[in-house]
Amino acid sequence: MPRVTAAAKARLEGTRRTQILAAAAVVFARKGFDRATVTEIARAAGLAEGSIYNYFRSKEELLVYIPRQLAQPVLAALLEQAPMPATVEEMEALLLRLAGAMVERVRTHSRFLKVFFSALPYLSPAARDTYMQLLPMYASSALERMLREGVRTGYLRKDLNPVIAARVLPGMLMFFLMVQEVLTGRRMVPYGYDEIIPEAVRVFLYGAVPRRRASPAG
């Protein structure tokens, strides 16, 4: 005669796990994986150290499970739900939105991304793959399809390589974000994202070299 049903128990266990992982993420972000202590994580989770081990086999396992908790493919979703742009203008609007979401997302998770960069190079390959899914630029495959469609339709350059281009655009921004938000916490340039984003999109679409022409034949 169990007090709680198996389902409720599973739910509770899930809750506990979530609670621990959330605490671990916070602590890892603050201290880095190696410098975080289980005691500290337990305290942040409102539990005793020993209790952690009722839910996870080791400290390392906490690291591996965190992404599954946090990774919500918002960017990919955003792209997949968006209608395929049919003109340059639609594409530009979409890219601006995409870039904005990316910035937003990175800034929100910047503390966690610290852990990411800190721990990733030394994780097992399996854990590493799990982790890489987090990278916003993995939304790139959706973007890639759109670019390919733009090339096909003709409003993008015929010789544009959609595979590369789909990674180049996020890369433009990612570096600002990584340096500013994740690595140093300082600005690299005296501009806000409201100026950086449009400039990057503009460069991506139109290049640095001036368009000859507001020719009527455009």
Partner DNA sequence: CATGAATGAGATTTCATTCAT
Partner DNA sequence: AATGAATGAAATCTCATTCAT
What residues make contact with a second copy under the rule CB under 8 A? 31-35, 88, 114, 117-122, 128, 132, 135, 137, 147, 150, 154-158, 160-161, 163-165, 167-168, 170-176, 178-179, 182-184, 188-191, 195-196, 199-200, 203-218
Q: d(Cα 51, Cα 67) in Å, to the nearest integer?
A: 21
In the block, residue with structure tokens 């908790």:
69
Contact of residue 57 among a second copy, DNA, none (CB under 5-8 Å per partner type): DNA
Among the listed residues 73, 64, 53, the one whose alpha carbon sits nearest the alpha carbon of residue 25 = 64
- DSSP conformational letter for 41: H
Residue 80 as a binder of DNA (CB under 7 A): the answer is no
Tokens found for residue 122: 């030394």
Q: Toward DNA, which CB reaches closer, 65 or 193?
A: 65
Contact of residue 170 among a second copy, DNA, none (CB under 5-8 Å per partner type): a second copy
Rounded (to 5) percent helix, strand, coil in the chain: 70, 0, 30
Q: Toward a second copy, which CB reaches closer, 65 or 204?
A: 204
Q: Toward DNA, which CB reaches closer, 19 or 141?
A: 19
Q: What is the DSSP string of 125-153?
A: HHHHHHHHTT-GGGGHHHHHHHHHHHHHH
Q: Do the Cβ atoms of 138 and 132 come closer than 8 Å? A: yes
Among 30, 59, 97, 145, binds DNA (CB under 7 A): 59
Residue type, 20: I
- DSSP conformational letter for 217: T
Contact of residue 13 among a second copy, DNA, none (CB under 5-8 Å per partner type): DNA
Contact of residue 210 among a second copy, DNA, none (CB under 5-8 Å per partner type): a second copy
Among 8, 11, 14, 39, binds DNA (CB under 7 A): 39
Contact of residue 86 among DNA, a second copy, none (CB under 5-8 Å per partner type): none
* Burial of 119 per CB tally in 10 Å (0-12, 13-18, 19+): buried
Please report how close the Cβ of residue 12 comes to DNA at its closest, in angstroms. Answer: 7
Which residues touch 122 (CB under 8 Å, ≥6 apart)? Answer: none
Please report how close the Cβ of residue 136 comes to a second copy at its closest, in angstroms. Answer: 10
- Which residues form the interface with DNA (CB under 7 A)? 2-4, 9, 12-13, 16, 35-39, 47-51, 53-55, 57-60
